[in-house]
Chain A
């Protein structure tokens, strides 16, 4: 796959896109726009098992494993969280379990969104990142058992 981009490459792209914004309003308008464009998760996936609970907002996350790569789909009741999800999916979906497990996701800090990962109980994003990595670990383990 020649057009495949690594996690680091996609992170760099996002950081560059955000460098165009000079106000918090602009950054958030962009994230909100991404959130609005995120395809809705099918209702059958919005079940408790797929629920990543935060104190304020809820995230539903599902993962598939195909040809050695993990594919994520997710949604939230908060449009800003949806925007952040959209970026996480862009970075992590379609990557190998190993790359997902070792991803440092420094772009979040570089674009000034660290507050959303802080332990303030304010949303489910931190739990979502953990859950994405958990899926990668699980798929990796399953794969090593079957091969």
Chain B
């Protein structure tokens, strides 16, 4: 039995755990082991407090009110934008648009920039490991514009084949949209190189950073991505709030997507003029509470430090990989050495759903199924995997429980 060192990757993991109240609960008579972090992470107390505090003390609609509560709510809401600007090092706060999440961000790009700039015969490139949310919007756009969707293949380890991308990219390429990190396998993609290559032909690049945000340092200016999409709830923040980062000159050129309040400058029945960035893309009353509570999540990640988080999570990943690989019949899907802390695996003759149910009986939460990546599962000719994904608050002891749970389940099921 391994115990997480009091200081792992420079972190006091046990002190961090204390900030996450849900980790104290029991599931089916066992202490919860939460390994479904790639789906959504748990929330630290400060995020929960921020939500409660907003509704308890200064709930108000933002931007238009002149009363004290509206001013306080507006300031808190805009403070999250400033924190996010710093967090990803955008060149200006107006490059940070709030959306409902990564899916909404990608759709916004597809149906604003995409509709404006993709014409018949043009090409859009994605990869074989994309989440459905980074496939379907482009398919819809391609169908509408009679454009073509091209797919970068991957190897048996789940790694993107960059040389194949180089062959696909051409003057016809208008948009390249790839995930930074695979949600189903944890594999990290060479987005920097992809962006550089795409820019050589004048294409813009959207990076789906949903899975990367809580694990990797991201500097959008250094990456030079044109758009970046992320969700708060995968980085210790609330659900229903995400960000679309876009380079200012692109956002200024793009047509608006949704009409309504807040996004206007002046409305008459003949013509409406639009508000400036970022507001012209934020129609209607936004998700004020969750946006405000997103800031403490950013603060939490900053305070703990992504480098330290990543170091600790790699300790967990290496240990879990070694232990699970040693079990007869277990095969790791996406067996790359360049990964974040996601461990996806299949077990000979055992359905992932059965394994997931038996692990849940021991209080262990994993994800089973196709992880919204059916084309990726088809590529590996499997119906789905069992996925354990680790976050900063997980420990080696919990991995021992997972390993014991998998061993017991295999015995019961075979």
Contact = CB atoms under 8 A, between A and B. Distances in A.
B351 interface: yes
B369 A55 contact: yes
B351 A57 contact: yes
Contact of B358 (A23, A28, A81, A122): A28
Which of B357, B361, B384 counts the most chain A CB atoms within 10 A? B357
Interface in A31-45: 32
A122 B353 CA distance: 8
Interface residues of B, number: 16
B361 A28 contact: yes
Interface in A5-58: 23-25, 28-29, 32, 55-58
Interface stretch (A72-80, A93-101, A138-146): A72-80
User: DSSP majority for the B interface?
Assistant: mixed
A123 interface: yes
B28 interface: yes
A25 B357 CA distance: 10
B412 A57 contact: no
B312 to A, nearest CB: 31
Given A28-B412, A29-B412, A56-B369, A80 B352 contact: no
Interface residues of A, number: 17
Given A56-B368, A56-B369, A77 B351 contact: yes
A113 B27 CA distance: 15
B361 A24 contact: yes
B384 A80 contact: no
B361 A56 contact: no
A57 B353 contact: yes
Nearest to B408: A25
Contacts of B29: 23-24
Interface of A: 23-25, 28-29, 32, 55-58, 77-81, 122-123
